[in-house]
Amino acid sequence: MRGDLDGILAEKGAEALLLYSESFKNANMYYLTKFLAPDPFIFFKKVDADPVIVLNQMEYPRAQKESIIKDVRSYVDYNFMEVVKSAEEPHLGTMKFIATVAKKELSTNTRICVPHNFPTMATDVLREEGLTIKPMLEVVERARETKDADEVGEIRGVQAVAEEVMVEAIDLIANAEADTKGTLFVKKDGEKGTLTVGKVKSYFGHKFLDHRCVTEEEIIVACGPKGSDPHYFGDPRDELKANQPIILDVYPRSIQKRYWTDITRTIVKGKASEKVKKMFEAVLEAKNASMDALQAGALGSDVYGLCCDVLEKAGYETTRGGKQIKRGFTHSLGHGVGLELHEGTGLNELYRFPLKEHSVVTVEPGLYDPDVGGMRIEDIVEVKKGGCNNLTKMEIRLEI
């Protein structure tokens, strides 16, 4: 949480934090300021002091109203035009301006932390001006791993939208008919139209927009054997088939609040084969067992190991220990979700760290077989003391 930031900086030996970025795409900048801006601006904060942001004159009045930062300043306060005009070219001038602000507010003796994606040119200029710049990993990201009640509420709200639209999309598939080759089609205005991956993805996209959410990345709609690749997104021309597993993996983001969620359901329109039913039962058991083991203090690697235990006992291979396999459980159990779709906190073999209370993670075991396709079930949960709170309310069923 934001309140952990000073402790994280001190632990790393830093005396101040400096960022220069826009906040549309930079999750750290938005997290620290709660201000959306398409153009870069400056954020700085000394340990045990209040943060400050410095923006161009156009954004200054809006930032005063919308940002959670109380100390909002304008470029004019630091003679922006004079500094930029004194440089050989404007972009270099902007870098010199950042140095001007940092020298005045943080001083050359301060050990200043910058994130891994801080502009290299700015780092060079700041150092030339005598500032002590130390790029550091996992500073703001560590603070973001745990969510306050408002953040969990935002994720829960996007999750509710995702589930509502997922139910509607599944109903669309359930109400489709199959021709003699098993290809699904729907009737509209008396005419038959093949139900393709593209049509289902468009359905998701339009419905999410109606709820002020977007799918920024390619969602997954994968039918049959092609779904044996966990990240086969589905070609828009692919036709959905009856009696085959269809993976629906969607991850919308709130347009205004910026938080993501993630949910996967695997369904069969018609009758699932015994092989697919067995995969479904094993994955569901692994998910439930993993969620039972989730709690603050548990190691992410241990929860992943428990999932592997369940699937291996059911007769499936896993990649535990670095094994290379052609079928079975081929990915991690889960990942953190927040202002980025994949962020800190992992449920995998390498995450040998205690899970923190109020972190939000996915739980998504899966099995993959090139002969029949994929099977994945995914819920999103908040880690708590002594257990976890499942933010996912949607039912899990295979045949529709």
CATH number of the domain that residue 78 is part of = 3.40.350.10
Q: What is the mean pLDDT of residues 202-208?
A: 97
Please check whether residues 95 and 223 belong to one and the same domain: no
Q: Is 284 exposed, middle or buried (CB count within 10 Å of its CB: 0-12, 13-18, 19+)?
A: middle
Q: How many domains does the chain have?
A: 2
Please check whether residues 160 and 138 belong to one and the same domain: no
Please check whether residues 79 and 165 belong to one and the same domain: no
pLDDT of the residue at 216: 84
Give the domain-ending residue among 97, 118, 144.
144
Please check whether residues 133 and 171 belong to one and the same domain: no
Domain membership of residue 396 (yes or no) is no
Please check whether residues 242 and 372 belong to one and the same domain: yes
Confidence of residue 333 (pLDDT cuts 50, 70, 90): very high
CATH code for the domain of 317: 3.90.230.10
Domain membership of residue 400 (yes or no) is no
Please check whether residues 284 and 344 belong to one and the same domain: yes
pLDDT (tens digit per residue) in 45-56: 999 999 999 999
Please check whether residues 121 and 228 belong to one and the same domain: no
Confidence of residue 167 (pLDDT cuts 50, 70, 90): very high
Check if the beta carbon of residue 310 is closer than 8 Å to that of residue 282: yes
Please check whether residues 69 and 8 belong to one and the same domain: yes
Q: What is the mean pLDDT of residues 8-18?
A: 97
Give the domain-ending residue among 128, 144, 160.
144
pLDDT (tens digit per residue) in 84-132: 988 888 888 999 999 999 999 999 999 999 999 999 999 999 999 999 9
Please check whether residues 78 and 106 belong to one and the same domain: yes
Tokens coding 298? 């548990």
Domain membership of residue 234 (yes or no) is yes
Confidence of residue 151 (pLDDT cuts 50, 70, 90): very high
What are the CB-based long-range contacts (under 8 Å, 24+) for 349-352?
Answer: 349/301, 349/304, 349/305, 349/320, 349/321, 350/301, 351/299, 351/300, 351/301, 351/304, 352/299, 352/300, 352/301
Please check whether residues 121 and 205 belong to one and the same domain: no
Give the domain-ending residue among 115, 144, 173.
144
Please check whether residues 108 and 138 belong to one and the same domain: yes
Provide the residue range defining the domain that includes 268. Answer: 149-390
Return the residue matching tokens 């209370």. Answer: 357
Domain membership of residue 395 (yes or no) is no
- The answer on pLDDT for 190 being more than 80 is no
pLDDT (tens digit per residue) in 24-69: 999 999 999 999 999 999 999 999 999 999 999 999 999 999 999 9
Please check whether residues 139 and 185 belong to one and the same domain: no
pTM for the model: 0.94
pLDDT of the residue at 53: 98
Domain membership of residue 398 (yes or no) is no
Domain membership of residue 218 (yes or no) is yes
Confidence of residue 164 (pLDDT cuts 50, 70, 90): very high
Domain membership of residue 278 (yes or no) is yes
pLDDT of the residue at 286: 98
* Average pLDDT of the residues of the chain: 96
Question: How many angstroms separate the CA atoms of 92 and 82, rounded?
Answer: 13
Question: How many angstroms separate the CA atoms of 106 and 265, rounded?
Answer: 50
Domain membership of residue 269 (yes or no) is yes
Confidence of residue 368 (pLDDT cuts 50, 70, 90): very high
Question: How many angstroms separate the CA atoms of 303 and 313, rounded?
Answer: 16
- The answer on pLDDT for 304 being more than 80 is yes
pLDDT of the residue at 51: 98
